[in-house]
Amino acid sequence: MMEPILLLVLILVLASEFVNGWTDAPNSIATVVSTRVLTPFQALVMATTLNVAGAFSGTAVAVTIGKGIIRPESVTLATIGAAMIGIIFWSTLAYKWGGLPTSESHALVAGLAGAGLATGGPSVLLWAGWQKVFLGLFFSSLLGLIGGFLIMLAIYRLFARAHPGTISKIFGRAQILSAAFMAFSHGSNDGQKFIGVFSLALVLGGVLPEFSIPYWVILLCAGVMGLGTGTGGWKIVKTMGMKLTKLKPVQGFAAETAAASVIELASRLGIPVSTTHTIGTAIIGVGATQRLSAVRWGVGKNIVLAWILTFPICGLIAWTVATILTALFGKT
């Protein structure tokens, strides 16, 4: 039964990566599309290409996810499969519910924790990895917000006497660079998470002798994520880039630069962060420099609600599925 189970789990991981591209990866191109600096097609091509490049830039986050959240020796294929089912169910529900972006980072660690508790008990959780998860919450929420706010204030100071047309011309071009930076940073962090899980499944299935990240896994997962963005990501682009606050190229540049810088720093430290949280809080920080009413707080409230619900819902679904699978098939 080992080979069919392994194949099913790998398919579920790729399905989760597809959903990641569908509901999370669009955050990396939301602002550049909403400001009309790039067309959706141009943004998609750029995002897919630089996501792959970012995924190849390091494996620190993949190692944290694959070896640092729950003990690899205590994890089964049922654990991984159950976690993926939780991610797919919740992210799809939030997308259909109101085009709400979900954090696949939090869905993934919550799903792994819930399924791990079902198959291995509390001792399966690794505190060192969870410290990085909690540190990632600080990075994505507070640093994203402050970074967006400060960068926007600095731009206002530097270009206080510049003509609006000049500002639009400069930042219309500069936002292409910030969007590219954002797409690269997404690949270096979010893109690595499911790569780590895919590699862990290969180890459990006996395909890899020890945990490592093969290049073909990076290409496969990054390609599937890009496909997800291209087929269903535009609803998220509308929510984050148009509904949360009104963005011009200068605001888009500030939000992307702040978010990408935070994400890239976290990637080098092996800290998994949420692209959704980081760009969302950066956009709020940028919008707040104009006036608090510039941010549509009702939309923001729904996004935050989806973030809060991600941990308990994905954890509970994964725990339930893993418990059922273990009862039916044992610790496979």
Q: What is the pLDDT of residues 211-241, one digit of tens each?
A: 888 889 988 988 888 787 777 666 666 655 5
The pLDDT confidence band at residue 244, using thresholds 50, 70 and 90, is low
Token pair of 298 as six digits:
């009702």
Question: What's the Cα-to-Cα distance from 64 to each of 69, 83, 141, 194, 211, rounded to whole Å?
Answer: 7, 16, 20, 11, 12
Token pair of 94 as six digits:
């939030």
Q: What does the pLDDT read at residue 317?
A: 94
Confidence check: pLDDT of 90 > 80 = yes
CB 3 within 8 A of CB 206: no
- CA–CA distance, 104 with 67 (Å, rounded to integer): 18
Q: Residues near 3 by Cβ (< 8 Å), separated by ≥ 6?
A: 205
- CA–CA distance, 65 with 195 (Å, rounded to integer): 9
Q: What does the pLDDT read at residue 154?
A: 95
Higher pLDDT, 227 or 149: 149
Average pLDDT over residues 110-132: 88
Q: Residues near 40 by Cβ (< 8 Å), separated by ≥ 6?
A: 33, 234, 237
Q: What does the pLDDT read at residue 1?
A: 47
Q: Residues near 86 by Cβ (< 8 Å), separated by ≥ 6?
A: 107, 110, 111, 114, 115, 313, 314, 315, 316, 317, 318, 321
